[in-house]
């Protein structure tokens, strides 16, 4: 009836659902409890509900004890149950909702967090390339027949014309335009984000979106396979050198590492004893003491990357002395194979106890005075090396060359030190 509101039925909530399973009938029964004005009505009272299962309540049913009590109570009322979907039963739906949970209207404004003017450009490199492709497909004579059929709504197997582009098997077809194809390769190979991948990886990146005949051959010709430019042959000895470190050796006279320096022209090698904990400054001093004093400064050097050889001090020293450093990756014999091979031979020398150098002949002798003390020095010709490798050595370092010293003094009895 108009003006009457059904009392709350919260006591029949889900908490009691395990007792009163048929909640729809509970609500029907409760709605008549406080509606005494409906009792004995001549005209049937229409009960609108979105619970369709209540319709069969007015039919013949096998009732349990609880339902029998409901039937006795509802027998005093003349009513008709009419099903109405919830979307059409809005009034009852509104009354059954908790008012404080209804979202408030107003106070909400649509707002764009990132406005368009905050973006410098929304055009990607692929969009620019696709625009060029869309213009170039109409200039390719090989595509005219396919384009003509597709424009006339005729189907062509594996081909499709959409978004202004020609698609072949789900990929954008690139016409015979070398400029466009180079732009695609640049975006997949040259850009910093691409990381300069190899041939296979570049082909895989390109073929994700694009296709053209002989694409693999084009990619392979664009991306170098590597190992195409070996080191140039030097013009003279000790102009270009390579150096590396042998570490992890047994300690001998305080040394546990060897600095290997090799001339790329003559293949002459210096094995310089040092320590694995050597610093960049120490290596620079060793380089000057054992290489520079004998052979002057090289024009270029080759070394593998590492915290020792690539130190800031060494780089600064190279810059000051106008030396051009060339770095290679560790265990990469394609560029630094000479030092890698020499190191293997050096380890054999160490295991067998062989000498680094063998004296071929003593050429001369002299006294050197330092701090009021004099020391005998000999100029030595080393076996297996050219004349430019002759060096002055103190007699203290000539313990293994006693026979050569005796032979020298026999031939030159008036020489210093006889």
Note whether 302 and 348 are same-domain residues: yes
- DSSP assignment of 202-221, as one string? HHHHHTTTEE-TTHHHHHHH
Q: Between 340 and 214, whose confidence is greater?
A: 214
Q: Mean pLDDT score of the chain, rounded to an integer? A: 75
Domain CATH for 214? 1.10.340.70
- DSSP assignment of 44-64, as one string? PEEEEES-GGGGGGGS-----
pLDDT of 210 reads 92
Local confidence band at 123 (pLDDT 50, 70, 90 cut-offs): very low
Note whether 252 and 324 are same-domain residues: yes
Give the separation between CA 93 and CA 6, rounded to whole angstroms.
12
Task: Give the residue-averaged pLDDT of 384-401.
Answer: 79
Q: How many domains does the chain have?
A: 4
pLDDT of 18 reads 45
Domain boundary among 166, 192, 222: 222
238 neighbors 296 (Cβ within 8 angstroms):
yes
Give the separation between CA 125 and CA 65, rounded to whole angstroms.
78
Q: What range does the domain containing 392 cover?
A: 359-411
pLDDT of 393 reads 83
- Judge whether residue 16 has pLDDT over 60: no
Note whether 244 and 217 are same-domain residues: no
Task: Give the residue-averaged pLDDT of 343-372.
Answer: 70
Q: Between 244 and 342, whose confidence is greater?
A: 244
Give the separation between CA 118 and CA 256, rounded to whole angstroms.
60
57 neighbors 81 (Cβ within 8 angstroms):
yes
Domain annotation covers residue 112: no
Print burial letters for 142-164: b (CB count within 10 Å at least 16), e (below 16). Answer: ebeebbeebeeeeeeeebebeee
Domain boundary among 100, 115, 143: 100
Domain annotation covers residue 199: yes
Residue 411 half-sphere exposure toward CB, CA atoms < 13 A: 11
- Of 333, 186, 336, give the one whose Cα is nearest residue 261: 336
Domain annotation covers residue 318: yes
Domain annotation covers residue 416: no
55 neighbors 81 (Cβ within 8 angstroms):
yes
Note whether 364 and 345 are same-domain residues: no
Of 105-109, 321-325, 403-407, the one with minimum mean pLDDT is: 105-109
Domain annotation covers residue 105: no
Note whether 288 and 331 are same-domain residues: yes
Domain annotation covers residue 119: no
Domain annotation covers residue 293: yes
Print burial letters for 218-232: b (CB count within 10 Å at least 16), e (below 16). Answer: bbeebbeeeeeeebe
């Amino acid at each position: 009836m108009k003006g009457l509101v059904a009392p709350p039925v919260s006591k029949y909530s889900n908490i009691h659902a395990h007792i009163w399973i048929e909640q729809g009938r509970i609500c029907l029964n409760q709605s008549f409890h406080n509606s005494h004005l409906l009792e004995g009505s001549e005209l049937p009272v229409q009960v609108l509900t979105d619970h369709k299962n209540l319709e069969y309540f007015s039919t013949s049913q096998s009732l349990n004890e609880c339902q029998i009590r409901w039937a006795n109570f509802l027998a005093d009322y003349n009513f008709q149950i009419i099903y109405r979907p919830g979307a059409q039963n809005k009034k009852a739906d509104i009354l059954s909702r908790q008012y404080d949970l209804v979202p408030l209207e107003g106070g909400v404004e649509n707002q764009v967090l990132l406005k368009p003017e905050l973006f410098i450009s929304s055009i990607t490199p692929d969009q620019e390339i696709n625009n060029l492709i869309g213009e170039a497909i109409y200039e390719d004579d090989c595509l005219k027949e396919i384009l003509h059929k597709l424009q006339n709504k005729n189907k062509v197997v594996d081909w499709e014309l959409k978004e202004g582009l020609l698609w072949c098997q789900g990929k954008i077809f690139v016409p015979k335009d070398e400029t466009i194809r180079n732009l695609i390769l640049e975006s997949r190979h040259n850009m910093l984000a691409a990381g300069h991948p190899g041939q296979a990886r570049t082909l895989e990146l390109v073929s994700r979106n694009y296709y053209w005949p002989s694409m693999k051959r084009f990619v392979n010709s664009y991306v170098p396979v590597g190992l195409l430019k070996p080191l140039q042959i030097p013009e003279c000895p000790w102009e270009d050198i390579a150096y590396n470190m042998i570490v992890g050796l047994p300690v001998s006279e305080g040394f546990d590492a060897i600095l290997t320096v090799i001339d790329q022209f003559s293949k002459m090698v210096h094995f310089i004893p040092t320590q694995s904990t050597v610093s960049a400054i120490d290596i620079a001093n060793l380089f000057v003491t054992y290489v520079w004093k004998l052979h002057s400064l090289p024009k270029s050097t080759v070394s593998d990357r590492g915290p020792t050889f690539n130190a800031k001090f060494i780089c600064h020293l190279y810059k000051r002395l106008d030396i051009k450093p060339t770095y290679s990756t560790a265990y990469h014999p394609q560029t630094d194979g000479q030092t890698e091979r020499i190191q293997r031979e050096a380890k054999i020398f160490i295991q067998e106890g062989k000498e680094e150098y063998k004296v071929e002949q003593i050429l001369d002798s002299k006294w050197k005075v330092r701090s009021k003390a004099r020391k005998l020095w000999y100029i030595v010709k080393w076996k297996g090396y050219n004349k430019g490798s002759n060096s002055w050595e103190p007699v203290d370092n000539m313990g293994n060359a006693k026979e050569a010293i005796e032979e020298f003094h026999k031939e030159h009895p008036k020489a210093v030190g006889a």
